[in-house]
């Protein structure tokens, strides 16, 4: 099984390369300077770039599909539809957050909210200054989970870009008498790389379909 990391020179690309090396996976990198057609030498593609570059790559891969683990964030609806199109031809694993713990939290949020329907809600995220998309894909996922319970919910996501924060998400429920604070903090980028390893093991025997961390958990 050969793996290609697209965006190998980026922060996440390097982190994924480190963990694949540590675990003796056979892989190579694809950077902006490479001829993208070398992707065909891989059985599984992993991509952490930006939504536009990733979208262009998906258009190419549609013609000669390979299993695809997508970690890039900030896709538009149109771009997401193309990703779904690809998943009719091969196995696609998409996650805006590869942290296992955060995804367990996502499962629990609707259960919690069902019991706190009359509480006020606040949601905010903090990331490093280089992060391009705003609000984060993870904050949007948290909001989607809340909307599964109450589709009329109107909450504005707060976004802060400071220093080198790897990723912090805070969800608050409050009434007159109390505040419940749910906070997830990534301690390093390794947490996402560990999730990518789980995704590789999950996807390697799948032929077709669209998968997320929710399927893995």
Ligand X SMILES: NC(=O)c1ccc[n+]([C@@H]2O[C@H](COP(=O)([O-])OP(=O)(O)OC[C@H]3O[C@@H](n4cnc5c(N)ncnc54)[C@H](OP(=O)(O)O)[C@@H]3O)[C@@H](O)[C@H]2O)c1
Q: Residue 152 or residue 187: which is nearer to ligand X going by CB?
A: 187
Does residue 141 touch ligand X according to CB under 6 A?
no
Does residue 95 touch ligand X according to CB under 6 A?
yes
Are the C-beta atoms of residues 213 and 96 closer than 8 Å to each other? no
Phi, psi of 103 (to 5 degrees): -75, -30
By CB under 6 A, name the one of 10, 67, 75, 105 that touches ligand X.
Answer: 10
Q: Residue 12 or residue 143: which is nearer to ligand X going by CB?
A: 12
Between strands 26-30 and 44-47, the pairing is unpaired
Q: Residue 15 or residue 146: which is nearer to ligand X going by CB?
A: 15
Return all residues near 188 (Cβ < 8 A) that are at least 6 apart.
166
By CB under 6 A, name the one of 1, 18, 26, 31 that touches ligand X.
Answer: 31
Q: What is the DSSP string of 128-163?
A: -TT--SSS-HHHHHHHHHHHHH-TT---PEEEEE-T
By CB under 6 A, name the one of 4, 19, 30, 126 that touches ligand X.
Answer: 30
Does residue 103 touch ligand X according to CB under 6 A?
no
Instruction: Using alpha carbons, list the distances in angstroms from residue 75 to 61, 117, 132, 176, 189.
Output: 17, 30, 12, 38, 21
Per-residue contact track with ligand X, 159 to 188, x per CB under 6 A?
A: ------------------------------
Does residue 194 touch ligand X according to CB under 6 A?
no
Q: Of 28-36, 82-90, 154-162, 170-178, which segment contacts ligand X by CB under 6 A?
A: 28-36
Does residue 87 touch ligand X according to CB under 6 A?
no
CA gap 111, 195 in Å, rounded:
24
> If you search the block for the tokens 């947490």, which residue do you land on?
191
Residues with a known catalytic role: 127, 131
Q: Which residues bind ligand X (CB under 6 A)?
A: 6-7, 9-13, 30-32, 48-50, 53, 71-74, 95-98, 131, 133, 192
């Amino acid at each position: 099984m050969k793996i290609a990391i697209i965006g190998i020179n980026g922060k996440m690309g390097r982190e994924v390369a480190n963990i694949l090396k540590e675990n003796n996976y056979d892989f190579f990198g694809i950077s902006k300077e490479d001829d993208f057609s070398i992707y065909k030498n891989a059985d599984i593609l992993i991509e952490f770039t930006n939504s536009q570059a990733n979208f262009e790559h998906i258009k190419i891969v549609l013609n000669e599909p390979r299993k695809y683990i997508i970690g890039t964030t900030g896709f538009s609806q149109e771009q997401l539809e193309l990703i779904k199109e690809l998943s009719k031809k091969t196995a696609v694993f998409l996650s805006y957050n590869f942290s296992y713990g955060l995804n367990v939290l996502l499962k629990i949020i609707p259960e919690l909210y069902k019991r706190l329907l009359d509480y006020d809600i606040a949601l905010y995220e903090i990331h490093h200054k280089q992060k391009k998309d705003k609000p984060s894909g993870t904050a949007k996922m948290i909001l989607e989970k809340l909307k599964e319970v109450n589709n009329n919910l109107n909450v504005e996501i707060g976004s802060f870009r400071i220093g080198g924060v790897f990723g912090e998400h805070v969800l608050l429920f409050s009434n007159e008498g109390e505040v419940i604070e749910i906070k997830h903090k990534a301690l390093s980028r390794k947490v996402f790389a560990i999730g990518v390893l789980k995704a590789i093991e999950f996807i390697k025997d799948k032929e077709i379909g669209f998968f997320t961390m929710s399927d893995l958990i």
